[in-house]
Structure 1
Amino acid sequence: MASRTSNPSDSDTEVGTEPRTDKVCFLDRLEHFTWAWFTLPMATGGLSLLLSAQIQPHTFPGLETIGKAVYIWDLFIFSAVTLCITYRFVRFPGTFTGSLTHPTESLFAATPLLSLASIIAAIARHGIPSSGEWLIVAYRMLFWIYFGVSFIAAIGLYFLLFTSPSLKINDMTPAWDLPIFPFMLSGTIAACGAGNQPPDQAVPMIVAGLTAQGLGMMISILIYANYIHRMIQYGFPRPESRAGMFIAVGPPSFTSLALIGMANDFPAIYRAYFGVEATTIQIIKVGATMMAVFIWSLSLWFFCISTLACLAVRHEMRFRLGWYAFVFPNVGFTIATISIGKMLHSAGVDWVGSIMSAVLVITYLAVGFHHVRAFVRREILWEGKDEDTYWGELHHKTHKAEGNGADRSDGRV
């Protein structure tokens, strides 16, 4: 199989064209193994965080074991996906640079870091309680390394996106927000692990996490403006892309849970910024809770709009790897809901969070089933699919527009 590039002239695949059916071995199919495959470990890692006795308001014997099993499964999936995409870049020269300059595939280049964010955060939930002091130190080191790398990635990926712009406003989806996501999740990592750190290490981690969370949320708001403009002018995305609408649920959700988590982890004995220590802690917790509720409402709105948009075209939706957006952003939405319920001591909100958790587990299994079926049916990881999809749709639109133009020139409607 010849290596393909991201040039539209190299692809003669149109929307609705069936890929060739000759036999191709699995290793050759890996030519089309894109960054979007990391959405699988993203969703799995988020689920391992959610299935933690420290997070769930209602627990049962064995919940922690289930959470650890999902975490181990996540580590395996992340390793397998990393191995496969490395093989693609080594075996098929040019695919690495092509993936970073591709209009849509490049948006998912940040997903490996997003997968690592959930892996690191889950260490605090499943690893530190069962390990010694060494893992607390390791967690702190991983946080600062991740903080620096994700900041560089946020700048570099957007620089590439802005250098050779190929996307138009009518192509807009919340996936444009993905490059800033990893840096923003530094706040979530801080919220999960700062409480295990010594006070003199916890506060710098919390301040850095708040900085990252703030930048990520503000960039997301700017992206939202274009996203809403796109929907007002052009309507909802295509049915195949509507699962990605749930990505918009993520930033305010993770910001809400990070604010509450960092407020709870702020050392009780450190510096009395606002008076005595008890006053400082009280001010921080009240402010974080009120701001979390304020921001959480945006997640709720995007969740409702995205749900209705997907239900409206449920019979037209075909599986894409973006379907894992049904899971990962909603993990943040669910944990944020549970965190708010705990801070307000609301049994009703706690039960809503538990029900949302159960629905997410079912959703993850359903998306996994469709993922396997799409692989077997050659609907993904196949020529004309994955990274070729955008060029195929663009090629189809160009021919359609030319045809309409020809009709108009002939005086026909």
Structure 2
Amino acid sequence: MSTRRESLGDEKSVSCSEDVPLRGRIEHFTWTWFTLTMSTGGIANLLNAQPNTFAGLTTIGKIIFIVFIVMLVFNFMMIATRFIQSPGALTASLTHPTESLFFPCMWLSLAVLLMNTQAFGVPSSGPWLVTALKVLFWIYLACTLLVAIGHYHVLFTAGKHVSIHSMTPSWVLPVFPVMLSGSIASSIASSQPYEDRLPIIVAGVSCQGLGFFVSLIMMALYLGRLMVDGLPAPKLRPGMFMAVGPPSFTSLALIGMSTSIPQGYGYFAEHPMAMDVLQPLALVFAIFLWSFAFFFYGIALVACVQGYKDLYWSLVCWTFVFPNTGFAIATIKIGDQLNSEGIKWVGSIMTILLVAVWLLNLGMQARAIYKRTMLWPGKDEDRDELRDKKA
């Protein structure tokens, strides 16, 4: 409790200090801000996947998609302004042991952009957008594969190592963007011509498998850390929901890609029974992975409820939303495949709760900016870097 009082005391002292100019506040605009766009785009994608709809739901989804694009442009402008006005800040952010872990959130936001473009753009556009998404998919896959390898290499060699005792699910974030290539593939494959669809599905399965197995290794380390050192500090516990993401997005990706198999083309022309085997198999594995995601969801939920008195809002709280949008969509996809109204309604109830949490987070983020508990010296993910400069 003493640590908590010190933290609150620091917040109070900062709030009472003289004003920091806008330029100074922008210096603390970190990669973690892209968790906002990940979550907002995830909500739009979740609304599009709804099995129980009403008049105007598609319009609401499109509005949130537009809001997501505005937020994404804003984030790019602000992060670029920070790096332009502070030479060396880009390198520092990419080698910082905490802030650098959230650099992939930018790529995850771009993945959500592609999925939402497929959902809301393709039905209202010509074939040019289908072709553009195909090109962007391959560019995204190549870039995120290089980012995953390069990012982990930097973390291994940067010299600012962290202890295994401080391990959190955020360690899986560098491989998360390339893993979502599978989710993008499951989203865009059904609208692609057969000659393009099969390569996209094969690449999507490969990347989804890569990301999931790396995350599986990380989750093993994470569980070991929890057994040895116990739960993280309450302010970090929202990040525990990140562990829900990999199995959830893998679950929905497997179902989406299996239902987009080009029947009677290429391999499936030579092996017509393969489709009848792969689709039920994809559903079985999706259910296995859904239960795995539910396990981590339960652990994170109980931990956050237990420590709610010492929990205060930060950008990490956006992990209440984004990983769980994948969990909700996976639930809906399983319900669709099993033709279960009960499971579909569970997915719809999860959607209502996630929209409520998303709106709450928007309000809390606006409040945090006003109260100077973010975008303020010593309050954001670059605070360790600030201490090093003072030292």
Q: 1:136, 1:105 → 2: CA distance?
A: 35
| 2:33 pairs with one of 16, 30, 37 | 37
Q: Which amino acid aligns with 2:215?
A: S
| Residue in structure 2 matched with residue 222 of structure 1 by the alignment | 217
**Pairwise mapping of residues 7-406 of structure 1 onto structure 2 (< 5 A)?**
15=7, 16-17=9-10, 18-19=13-14, 21-52=17-48, 55-163=49-157, 164-273=159-268, 277=272, 279-390=273-384
Superimposed CA distance per residue, residues 63-91 of structure 1 (whole angstroms, 9 cap, x where no aligned partner): 11111111110000000011001000010
Superimposed CA distance per residue, residues 14-35 of structure 1 (whole angstroms, 9 cap, x where no aligned partner): 8442326211222320101000
Q: Is the 8 A contact 1:88 1:95 kept in 2?
A: yes
SS in 2 for 1:51: helix
SS in 2 for 1:48: helix
Shift of 1:271: 3.0
Q: Is the 8 A contact 2:99 2:382 kept in 1?
A: no
Provide the aligned C-alpha RMSD in A.
1.6
Superimposed CA distance per residue, residues 176-216 of structure 1 (whole angstroms, 9 cap, x where no aligned partner): 11000000000000000000000110000000000000000
Q: Which amino acid aligns with 2:83?
A: F
Q: 1:299, 1:264 → 2: CA distance?
A: 22
Where does structure 2 lack aligned partners over 5 or more consecutive residues? 1-5
Q: 2:175, 2:30 → 1: CA distance?
A: 19
Shift of 1:103: 0.8
SS in 2 for 1:56: coil
Percent of residue pairs identical:
45
Q: Is the 8 A contact 1:114 1:182 kept in 2?
A: yes
Q: Which amino acid aligns with 1:49?
A: N
Q: 1:234, 1:56 → 2: CA distance?
A: 40
Q: Which has the higher helix share?
A: 2
TM-score by length of 2: 0.94
Q: 1:391, 1:73 → 2: CA distance?
A: 32
Q: Which amino acid aligns with 2:30?
A: T
Q: Which amino acid aligns with 1:224?
A: M
Shift of 1:166: 1.7
TM-score by length of 1: 0.89
SS in 2 for 1:268: coil
Shift of 1:388: 4.1
Shift of 1:281: 2.2
In the superposition, relative to structure 1, how do residues 195 and 56 fare at CA in structure 2: closer, same or farther (>3 Å)?
same
Q: Is the 8 A contact 2:96 2:160 kept in 1?
A: no
Say which is worse superposed, 92-101 or 178-187, in terms of deviation.
Answer: 92-101
Q: Is the 8 A contact 1:199 1:269 kept in 2?
A: no
In the superposition, relative to structure 1, how do residues 274 and 231 fare at CA in structure 2: closer, same or farther (>3 Å)?
farther
Aligned length: 378
Q: Is the 8 A contact 1:274 1:280 kept in 2?
A: no
| Residue in structure 2 matched with residue 8 of structure 1 by the alignment | none
Shift of 1:171: 1.2
* Greater radius of gyration (CA): 1
Q: Which amino acid aligns with 2:77?
A: L
